Amino acid sequence: MSTSQRVAIIAGGSRGIGRETSQRLAAEGYAVVVNYASNKDDADATIATITANGGNAIAVQADVADENSVAALFDAAEREFGGVDVVVNAAGIMPVSPLVDLDLEVLDRVLRTNLRGTFVVDQQAARRVRAGGAIINFSSSISRFARPGYSAYAASKGGVEAITLILARELRGRDVTVNVVAPGPIATELFYQGKDEQTLKRMAAEPPLERIGTPQEIADVVVFLAGPARWINGQVIYANGGAI
C-alpha cells in the first residue's frame, strides 16, 4: 500500500513506544503529527530526528482527555497535511500500587488519561479518519498477567479493549480498521520506573524468548496494522514474546 499521501497522528508520540512509532511511520512515508502532553523538548527532539532522516512531521500539544484540545489536534493535522488516515493512541500513565493502598485521586488520573483519553481520541478519529485508514489503541498484556500492583492500570486497559472491539463494529462500512496492541514488558522509561534489578531479571525470564521487548518491536506491529493488515480488525494483538 502506498503511503505517500497518508497522515498519522500519534497521541503520546514524543516518548517511549510512541516516539519509536512516530519515527517508524515517518520512515514509511507517512506525514506524522506527534502529540505531546507537556514536554515540548521531547517532542522537538522527536521531530528533529524525523526531519533529519528526511521525514515530514509536526508536534502538537494536546491533553488527550480534553475533547476541545483533541479536536484542535485533529484540526492541526488536517490544516497542515489535508486529512488523517491513521491514529495511534500511545499516551498513558502507569502508577503501581496495591489496590488497598491506592489513592483514589491516582485512580481518577489513570482512568482520565488511559481510558477517557482513548475514548476522546477515538471519538475524533471515528469522525475524521479517511477510508482505508486505521485506528490503533494501546492496551497491555498486564490484563492477562494479573500482576499484583497493577489493578488501576489493568482496569483502564480493559476498558480500552472494550472500546476498541465495539468501535470496530460501529464503523461497519467505513473501510477503517480498529485494533488494539497489548505489549508485554517493553524497555521504556515508563516500564523501568520503580523496579529493582531482581524484579527486572524475573520479568525478563518470563517469556520463552527470555528478554524484555523493545519499542522497535512494538512499532513493527503498529506499522503492520496501520498499512498492510487490512483483514485484521476488531482484535487485541498481544505482543509479549509469548509470556502468556
Question: Which are the catalytic amino acids?
Answer: 153
Residue 151: other Cβ atoms inside 10 A: 19
Residue 74 near residue 128, CB atoms below 8 Å: yes
Closest by Cα among 119, 215, 227, 213 to 166 = 119
CA pair distance 131, 35, nearest whole angstrom = 22
Residue 129 near residue 176, CB atoms below 8 Å: yes
H or E element, residue 183 = strand 177-183
CA-to-CA dists, residue 231 to 30, 126, 179, 235, angstroms? 21, 18, 11, 10
